[in-house]
Structure 1
Amino acid sequence: MEKVIIFGTGKRAQWIFKYLDKYNEFEVVEIWDNNEKKTGKIYEVNGKNVVVKQPHYENQYNIIVSSDVYYEEITRQLIENLSINPIYIKKFGYVFNSFKTKILEKYKDSDNAGINNICKYLRANELDVFCGQISNNYPLDIFEVHKDSDNGLLYSFWQGKKIYLSSVYKNPNDAKAYLCTLCKEQDVNSPHCYNIDKLDFYNTDIFIDGGAAEGFLALQVIDMVKHVYLVECDKEWVEALKLTFEPYKDKVTIIEKWLDEADSENTVSIDTLVLNNKNMDKIIVKMDIEGKETDVIKGMEKLIDSDIDMTCIICTYHKSGDEDIIHDFFEQRGFDITFANGYMFFPYGEIIEPELRKAVLTARKIIKN
């Protein structure tokens, strides 16, 4: 088992610790952190107590930098201040080395050009969610982040409109990193791109944002549609959504429930949201709901059978096999189906599979005149 050092103790590092507890692929010999207040703290990783230390000279083990935000800064620190050879400094994706090996083996005989390009990238780079398919750079300084003195929340601007972030984000750089991640997801080359420029929001009566989170997509199209339903159950995100959409409260309804196949105290179906509305000709639904997508589509049969023009933008990467299940569901009902370009590796599910997945499916109802 390879021995490594983890640099950092933040959220990403905590995730690495849990990952290693589950997959037992590395032995963490030390944890480094620049924050002196963390020095001496003990974390249990893989059944072993590991002490946090200040960075010091070390040329024996690979150092996995847990933070994407500060990776370049930490790399310079290690090279310039501690004379550490850069070959020992690894990005977060290094923890997925065994999955990278399995992916390369699985797809070695693929005749898919996109997958072959990913495999070529992986032979020279760490495995990451987007597998090198995003060519544009999104530095933190493309966003300015401010603190609202009235409520303490951080906010920035998305295409000229004020957007608030969850109270979980207390550090401006973390907030900037989150917003940059949204930019990467919606990059034209990203497998997670919703391709909203190809959809006609201007003629849409209702837009449902399932798993709204910060609500960037709804904010982007708010001036085009007649009404928006923001479906989000996370209380911290709901707090932020109420502030972001305060200027549009007359055309926005926030549903503090989860989307699901049927209604309950904590859930609501698409059919329930939509079919109580009268004089509606067109609806667009977006779902990014942490693996519940295959359940939720079952709760929209009445809408599908109606004469309402509808388009669904659905994430298909949360669980293995979802892309086929969701594709077949809509194909059998006569929808026109496209996938976003490229493939994703998804490391955040309960079970991580060594596979590349299509990430976003768009299904358009074919209206017969």
Structure 2
Amino acid sequence: MKITKSLRQIIKWFVPFGIIEYRYKKSGRLNAERIQKGNDIAIYFKNLDRDNQDPEIVKIIEYLERNQCSMYPYEFTKKCFSENIVIYMDKICKMNYVLHENKRMYFPKNWEANQIREYYNWLLMEQDVDSPHRYDTAVFRVQEGDVIADLGTAEGFFALSNVEKAKKIYLFECDNKWLRALKKTFEPWQEKVSIVNKYISDTTSKNYITLDDFLDGKEINFIKADIEGAEIALLRGAKKTLLNQKKLQFSLCTYHRQNDAEEINQILTQNGFTTEYSKGYIITIFDRDSKEPYLRRGIIRAKNNESI
């Protein structure tokens, strides 16, 4: 897919410096309705009485006074530039890849270099240490010898960052465009990485499985989930896992639906987990049904007593 100059101009209304959020675009286009939504959200924040706002909200207001409305309303988004990303071609499998922490990360065969460059740039920004979407921290992270479940793996960014220290990794991904790329990316570690082509849910059927049924008593230590609003269903299907796993950490997305952050936090704390949210907020420019105040927490991190 070629990114035209006019499309780049539209993109700037949504994410700084033309960075594309591929998960939320439709058919490669960002429509006028979403541009208008971004304008409306910016006006909403600029009209707030900042003297009565939390410092975190004031920081967002100040950002929007200087910048266009975007999903991540923070200065860290200006650190990444896709032009600096080198794309390599594997001449054997004819697939493009980037070097992520000196490890090959492959992309779908039909993706052009510019698309890969923009996408990987977005990932680097998304996982910046100051990002509301950051999965881990210096103290909350995968430990040596952990067993990981990466739910909603996509390109495998999180799993690839932790593959060398993990004892075992389960990659849950149902989007067929990623399966071949994932297989190539994790080929050097195929003895400890399994790709699971099923959706995680609160019931088990042909294409769906609960975490309890999948694990069936197997060890798990770190669960990362970005599954488009199915995070609560994940927890409902993980009652035994929540109760019986002695050393367990979660890093779950909480921004896909309006009340996810509060509901997920409640489930985890009721099961004895200590929780914290990632830094800052995400502006819900991607959700046409979002309402004031247009802010959601990005990630909830949780650990049980054995992990503390």
TM-score, length-normalised on structure 2? 0.85
Q: CA 1:312–1:358 in structure 2 vs 1: closer, same or farther (change >3 Å)? A: same
135-144 or 297-306: bigger deviation? 135-144
Residue identity opposite 1:352 in structure 2 = S
1:201 counterpart SS class = coil
Cα deviation code 1:163-191 (max 9, x no counterpart): 00134522x12211111111111111111
* C-alpha distance in structure 2 between counterparts of 1:64 and 1:143, whole Å: 18
Please, which of 290, 293, 299 is the counterpart of residue 360 of structure 1?
299
Match of 1:121 among 43, 58, 63: 63
Corresponding residue pairs, total: 290
Does structure 2 retain, via aligned residues, the 8 Å contact 1:65–1:71?
no
Kindly report which structure 2 residues correspond to 1:128-143, keeping only aligned pairs within 5 A, or say none. 128-134=70-76, 137-143=79-85
1:139 positional shift = 1.4
Q: Give the conservation status (yes or no) of the 8 Å contact 1:138–1:184.
A: yes
Question: Cα–Cα, structure 1 residues 188 and 136, in superposed 2: closer, same or farther, change >3 Å?
Answer: farther
CA RMSD of aligned residues (A): 2.8
1:295 aligned partner, one-letter code: A
SS of 2:190 mapped into structure 1: helix
Letter aligned with residue 302 of structure 1:
K
Partner of 1:97: 39
Q: 1:152 aligns with which of 85, 94, 99?
A: 94
What is the CA–CA distance in structure 1 between the aligned matches of 2:138 and 2:307, rounded to whole Å?
A: 24
**1:330 corresponds to which residue?**
268
SS where residue 285 of structure 1 aligns? strand
Per-residue CA deviation, residues 237-279 of structure 1 (Å, 9 max, x unaligned), is 11110110111110011001111112111112211232342xx
Alpha-carbon distance between aligned partners in 2 of 1:214 and 1:221, rounded to the nearest angstrom: 14
Q: Is residue 214–residue 241 contact of structure 1 (8 Å, CA) maintained in 2?
A: yes
Q: How does 1:255-294 map to 2 (within 5 A)?
A: 255-277=196-218, 280=219, 283-294=221-232
CA distance in structure 1 between the partners assigned to 2:209 and 2:251 by the alignment: 18
Tell me the residue number matched to 2:147.
Answer: 206
Judging changes above 3 Å, is the alpha-carbon distance between structure 1 residues 333 and 240 closer, same or farther for their aligned structure 2 residues? same
- Alignment partners' CA distance in 2, 1:294 and 1:303: 14
* Alignment partners' CA distance in 2, 1:71 and 1:358: 23
Q: 2:254 aligns with which of 316, 332, 335?
A: 316
Higher relative CO (Cα under 8 Å, sequence separation at least 6) belongs to: 2
Structure 1 residues 107 and 300: alpha-carbon distance in aligned structure 2, compared to 1, 3 A threshold: farther
2: CA distance, partners of 1:368 / 1:162: 31
1:346 to 278, 281, 284: 284
Give SS of 2:138's match.
helix
Unaligned runs of 5+ in 1: 1-8, 12-32, 35-54, 56-62, 73-91
Does the CA-based 8 Å contact 2:129-2:137 persist in structure 1? no
Structure of greater Rg: 1
- TM normalised by structure 1 equals 0.71
Change (3 A) 1:136 1:123: closer
SS at match of 1:242: helix
Question: Do the aligned partners of residues 357 and 234 (structure 1) sit closer, same or farther apart at CA in structure 2, a change above 3 Å counting?
Answer: same
Q: Does the C-alpha gap of structure 1 residues 234 and 130 become closer, same or farther in structure 2, counting only changes over 3 Å?
A: same
Q: Within 2, Cα distance between the matches of 1:235 and 1:310?
A: 29
